[in-house]
Amino acid sequence: METTVHRVLGLERIRQICAENGLDDEGCQMVDRILEEWEGLVGRPMAKAEAGIRIVGNNPRRREIVATIVKISAEFSLVQQHKN
């Protein structure tokens, strides 16, 4: 599923951020799944946090996955601000 974040930042940039945070394909897929879940949770930060925790679980790379999501979210927000 292509999310708003994927459309705005582009898959290449998202993959680049994943790589910068040391994620492999599995980690990148988790990031994609989180972004897909979050698509329907706009304005619901607690639900987003719960979805992220559920998806990441006890993955040993959870810190890197969370750092990647934070970086992607921040960049997405900045791009959206500049559009307005």
pLDDT tens string 16-62: 999 999 999 999 999 999 999 999 999 999 999 999 999 999 999 99
Q: What are the Cα distances from residue 62, in Å, to 7, 52, 68, 78?
A: 25, 10, 10, 24
User: In this structure, are residues 9 and 76 in contact, taking their beta carbons and an 8 Å threshold?
Assistant: yes
**Structural domain tally of the chain?**
1
Range of the domain at 61: 4-83
pTM of model > 0.85:
yes
pLDDT at 84: 65
**Confidence class for position 82, pLDDT limits 50, 70, 90:** confident
Position 83 scores a pLDDT of 78
Asked if 55 contacts 33 with a C-beta cutoff of 8 angstroms, the reply is yes
